[in-house]
Copies of this chain bind each other. A is one copy, B any other.
């Protein structure tokens, strides 16, 4: 079924839901999903609404200008319009650990993700064969201290060339520069292998072991310039016990990382994530 998805943010005001739903109804739109959220503390309104396109009286290219004129202008809204039949284009960055990469490829392979994956970029050559078996081009781009700037430039070229919409860091063990990040605001999803904000930075499983925690976790978040501090999309945990070594924690944690990252990708693909003020609204 062809559908349109509208994402809205604006100052909270009376009558927004009425006006938006009336707009859709007036063009014979059949609402499929409607979710709204008001952040009472800061007085902001968030909405996601999807509707069937087949019976809709506006043409695809008319929706945006008409909505702008008739609704968005009135409430001073920011909005984004998506169509479910145009699949987002996602790039995967990966280093040596393969578990998140293969989990994503497996979901792509089985059709669980409505996504195009035009390329995988890695700073190690290891996973070329496996990636290509899923029919996806693999780009090996070594990153050293000396060539980091050049490497990022080449990465950005590739992303542009392949018209990539968003990037997934599937345990990519390089810190991206602020410049790189500013190209993809709220469009780079990272998986951090701890229950943020606990254990920011390197070796979180070892830090968790040292502290003697009984639960470990993983966090998927949008990348911002401050390390491991961007808006959290999803988190999950697993229990550990005194007999689990740091190596066990790494292994137990990998199962959590896979699930968390894939959920975050899914929410992002389905346009269910609204980021604001370093937080996310997730309409699942």
Interface residues of A (CB under 8 A from B): 14-15, 17-19, 21-22, 24-25, 28-32, 34-41, 97-99, 102-103, 105-107, 109-110, 112, 129-130, 132-134, 195-199, 211-215, 217, 231-237, 241-243, 245, 251, 254-255, 259, 262, 278-282
Of B15, B36, B109, B251, which is within 8 A of A25 by CB?
Answer: B15
The answer to whether B112 and A212 touch across the interface, beta carbons within 8 angstroms, is no
In the assembled complex, which residues on chain B have CB atoms less than 8 Å from the CB atom of A217?
215
Q: Of all chain B residues, which has the CB nearest A134?
A: B130
The answer to whether A242 and B198 touch across the interface, beta carbons within 8 angstroms, is no
CB distance from A275 to the nearest CB of B (A): 10
In the assembled complex, which residues on chain B have CB atoms less than 8 Å from the CB atom of A102?
102, 105-106, 109
A245 CA to B10 CA, complexed, in Å = 19
In the assembled complex, which residues on chain B have CB atoms less than 8 Å from the CB atom of A213?
196-197, 232, 235
Given contacts A98-B109, A98-B110, A214-B232, 14 further A-B contacts (CB under 8 A): A14-B25, A17-B25, A17-B31, A22-B22, A37-B243, A103-B103, A106-B106, A130-B134, A196-B198, A197-B198, A198-B198, A212-B278, A215-B217, A215-B236
Q: Of all chain B residues, which has the CB nearest A230?
A: B212
In the assembled complex, which residues on chain B have CB atoms less than 8 Å from the CB atom of A198?
195-198
A36, A109, A132, A214 interface centre (most CB from chain B within 10 Å): A214
The answer to whether B236 and A279 touch across the interface, beta carbons within 8 angstroms, is no
Q: Of all chain B residues, which has the CB nearest A233?
A: B214
Q: Of all chain B residues, which has the CB nearest A243?
A: B37
Copies of this chain: 4
26 pairs across A/B with beta carbons < 8 Å?
A: A14-B28, A17-B25, A18-B18, A18-B22, A18-B24, A19-B25, A21-B21, A21-B22, A34-B34, A97-B110, A99-B107, A99-B110, A99-B112, A103-B103, A103-B106, A112-B251, A132-B133, A195-B198, A196-B198, A212-B278, A212-B280, A213-B232, A214-B235, A215-B217, A242-B280, A255-B262
A40 CA to B21 CA, complexed, in Å = 20
The answer to whether A279 and B130 touch across the interface, beta carbons within 8 angstroms, is no
In the assembled complex, which residues on chain B have CB atoms less than 8 Å from the CB atom of A278?
212
A166 CA to B213 CA, complexed, in Å = 22
CB distance from A187 to the nearest CB of B (A): 18
A237 CA to B21 CA, complexed, in Å = 37
A22 CA to B242 CA, complexed, in Å = 26
A134 CA to B98 CA, complexed, in Å = 13
The answer to whether B241 and A282 touch across the interface, beta carbons within 8 angstroms, is yes
